Amino acid sequence: MSDFIKEFFGFLMSHKKIWLGPIVVIVILIALLLVLSEGSAISRFIYRI
């Protein structure tokens, strides 16, 4: 079992793109979605309560 894990970690270290790539891409996509899809033209017209 420990050999399997060692081998798997070795695989991860040598194939970072497989798992790190999606993380980076998803974070960038979410950040872009958040930045680009928020906004309001009314902010100066909000009634102060």
Partner 1 sequence: MNRKKAFIFRILAALIPLLMFAVLEGGLHLVDVLPNRDLFIPVAADGNERGEYLLVNPDIGDRYFPRNGLVPTPLPNTMLLKDKPENLFRVFVMGDSIVTGWPYESHAGFSFILEQRLADALPGKAVEVVNLGVAAFNSYSLLDMMDEVLEQEPDVILLYTGHNEYYGALGAASTATLGHSRWIVNLNLWLQDFKTVQLIREATYKVRETLAANKESQQPPTLMGQVVGNKTIMPGDEVYERGRRQFEGNLNDILEKAREAGVPVVISDLVMNLRDTEPFVSIETADGESADRSFADARAFEEQGKFADARQKYVEAKELDVLRFRAPEEFDQVIRDAAQLNKAYLVPLRETFDRASPDGIPGNDLFLEHLHPTVEGHFLMSETFFDGMLENALLNKEWLTADLLPAQYYRETWPVTELDRALAKIRIIGLKDHWPFIPENESINAVARFNPVNRFEELAKDVFGDKITYQQAQYMLAENFIEEKEFALAIKAYRALSKSQPAETAHLKNAAFKLIEVRQFQAAIPFLEQSLRLEDSLFANKWLGQILVNFGRAREGLPYLEKARQIDAADTQVLSNLARTYMMLGNQEAANLVMAELEAVKPN
Nearest approach in angstroms of CB 23 to partner 1 is 5
Size, binding site for partner 1 by CB under 8 A? 31
Contact 34, 27 (CB under 8 A): no
What mask, x for binding partner 1 by CB under 8 A, covers residues 7 to 46? xx--xx--x--xx--xx--xx--xxxxxxxxxxxxxxxxx
Count, in order, helices (H) and strands (E) of the chain: 2, 0
Radius of gyration (Cα) for the chain, nearest Å? 22
Q: In this structure, what token pair is assigned to residue 13?
A: 């270290």
Interaction site with partner 1 (CB under 8 A)? 7-8, 11-12, 15, 18-19, 22-23, 26-27, 30-49
